[in-house]
Amino acid sequence: MRYFQSIILVLLALGSNAQNPLYVPPLLTGTNFNLNILDSTTQFWTGINTITYGINHNILAPTLQINKGDTVTMNVTNQLTGTGNSTTIHWHGLHVPPKDDGGPHQVINQGATWSPKFKVMNDAGTFWYHPHGDKKTDRHVSKGVAGFIIVKDAQEAALNLPRTYGVDDLPLVVQTKEFDVLNQIAIATFLDTLVLVNATVNPYANVPAQVVRLRLLNGASQRSFLFGFSNNMNFSLIGNDGGLLDAPQTMNRILVANGERVEILLDLTTHLNDTIFLKCFGSEMPKGIYGADSVGDAGINQITDYYNNYLNGIDYNLLQMRVVAQTATPVTSIPSTLVPLNPFTPDANTVYRKLVIDTIGDMGVTPNFASGPFAFNQTLFDMDSINEYVTLNRKEVWTIHNKTMIAHPFHIHDIQFYVLDINGMPPPAYEKGQKDVVLIMPNDSVRFITQFTDFVDDSIPYMYHCHILHHEDDGMMGSFLVQYPLGINDVKISNEFMVYPNPSQNYWKIKNKESNMIKSYEVLDITGRKIFSENINQNIVTISNSNLVVGSYILKLFTQKGIATIKVEKN
């Protein structure tokens, strides 16, 4: 029934109106922004009102243009009605303090205003902002709250690039939506058959016969897009999540997963009066990605209604581009070089972490490796728990291994990273820039390197999660704290624990004097570098030190009540 309903709605959307002019969100500039989250209605089909959310508008949000080095204030007011509509706003990709990050811990209650103030530290690039409430992200984003952030800097300004907003520099957020029997936006029905660009059904845009810059954002809740053009023309990739590349990459297809952004240049100088479609080439998408012809297997590992969704595995149009006359000052060539990249390299103090993506099955229920539920390291998200502790200015290599049958776009807050390898092989050239989202294919392992700089907080965490939004809402998310390096002189003996023998040649035994379960521990050297760790959930712990060299060490104990540190000696 829902399948036939979706067919009828799409036919209504395509209707007799043919193309609809592309909506381009208004551009706001400056350092002080007033952003009002409100509910309204939108007519995706003539005469049918659908409840939508937006910022300063009935759907989507204004584009914020900010400059690197400026200090900006975001006055975010929650004017949503109804019950249980507290929300948050996350500045996706921006390097900001955790209290200003807009994760699930920075709740904006209904009627309240949240006013984070922070310095813009990112390089020029395309970022975005969207809700990130605990178990509410999919609902609030799907209903329409999403907007671009364009960061400018001196290096980007020195390049001969298109930058007239809405003319030769177009922000394009591509989404699909699903609906219930009342024509209201639904969540995770897997019948996301209405395709929107900038919240516009079946859109067209007039673009000049010159070099045009498209800022492509995958703002969909679950679908990935393999972008290309109807005439198979080449384009030049000049930037991804964290900013510009060092040189353009010539391509005719690019896969963009949920939350990812790419900037491309399209040379239309010889295409006056042509009509060209931006398309999704779903028929070419690798299996296992939501949007390909198949995900899972022929058995129990399937997604409900996946094969009733006719968009999966087909090619379809996204935006009709009508090529018109040049502007007065056209850009007619593509630069051969862009900005230098400075990827991190591991050193002796680099910390290595591994997150495993797997299913979480209830007692007696067989896990579904295509539809989940999913978690990192078998642990569902808990607002009151911290999953990882990282050290300020320490470089880290993270390995993300996907043991499921569906691709997951992994996103981490606070930082940008560089992909080191995919299954031990170097990443393709288009993945070599700064990233904050990477798609992890089924059974793949991806390693990236990053560094956690500038911001420390002992209580407010950042997030990492899958950017398929209902996966995130269902618990596929973790949190991490960035802390100062722990020096040996900073450590005090915790009176809550008894450690013996200390000094020791072979092992330390830790006994808890109170009822405070030790969940895990880390052994650190005197610089604060982690030597090894273990998850335990015990009151009495024996830690072998026979392989350690003689010297002083720090035991860092993660308990139900908090963190305890103990200075120990190996002799």
| pLDDT value of residue 364 | 59
CA distance 141 to 530: 38
Q: CA-to-CA distance for 262 and 268, rounded, in angstroms?
A: 19
- One-letter amino acid at 462 equals Y
Q: CATH number for the 488-570 domain, one of 1.10.10.10, 2.60.40.10, 2.40.37.10, 2.60.40.3080?
A: 2.60.40.3080
How do the domains of the chain map onto residue ranges? 351-483, 488-570
Question: Phi and psi at residue 545, in whole multiples of 5°?
Answer: -125, 15
- pTM to 2 decimal places: 0.86
Radius of gyration of the chain (CA): 25
Q: Which of 157, 150, 210 is nearest to 24 (CA)?
A: 150
Q: How far apart are CA 479 and CA 413, in angstroms?
A: 9
Confidence at residue 4, expressed as pLDDT on a 0 to 100 scale = 47
Question: How many C-beta atoms surround the C-beta of residue 546 within 10 A?
Answer: 9
Dihedral sign (CA 132, 134, 138, 143): negative
SS3 139: helix
One DSSP character per residue, 19-64 reads -EEPP-PPEEESSEEEEEEEEEEEEEETTEEEEEEEESSSSB-PEE
Determine the Cα–Cα distance for residues 194 and 143; give it in Å rounded to an integer.
13
Q: What gap in Å lies between CA 361 and CA 368, rounded to an integer?
A: 8
CA dihedral 419, 424, 428, 432 (to 10 degrees): 20
For residue 171 the two structure tokens come to 């922000």
Give the torsion through C-alpha atoms of 14, 18, 23, 24, to 10 deg: 120
**C-beta atoms surrounding 184 within 10 Å:** 13
For residue 143, the surrounding DSSP H or E stretch is none
pLDDT of residue 570: 87
Print pLDDT tens along the chain (571 aa): 444 444 544 444 444 345 899 999 999 999 999 999 999 999 999 999 999 999 999 999 999 999 999 999 999 999 999 999 999 999 999 999 999 999 999 999 999 999 999 999 999 999 999 999 999 999 999 999 999 999 999 999 999 999 999 999 999 999 999 999 999 999 989 999 999 999 999 999 999 999 999 999 999 999 999 999 999 999 999 999 999 999 999 999 999 999 999 999 999 999 999 999 999 999 999 999 999 999 999 989 999 999 999 999 999 999 999 999 999 999 999 999 999 999 999 998 899 999 999 998 764 567 899 999 999 999 999 998 889 989 899 999 999 999 999 999 999 999 999 999 999 999 998 898 999 999 999 999 999 999 999 999 888 999 999 999 999 999 999 999 998 876 544 445 456 778 889 888 899 988 876 667 888 888 987 666 778 888 888 888 899 998 888 888 888 888 877 777 888 888 8
Distance of CA 109 to the CA centre of its chain: 24
Return the pLDDT at 223.
Answer: 98
- Residue count of the chain, please give it: 571
Q: Quick check: helix, strand or coil at residue 438? A: strand
CATH superfamily, with its number, for domain 351-483: Cupredoxins -  blue copper proteins (2.60.40.420)
300 contact partners, CB below 8 Å, separation of at least 6? 366, 368
Residues 6+ apart with CB under 8 A from 443: 402, 403
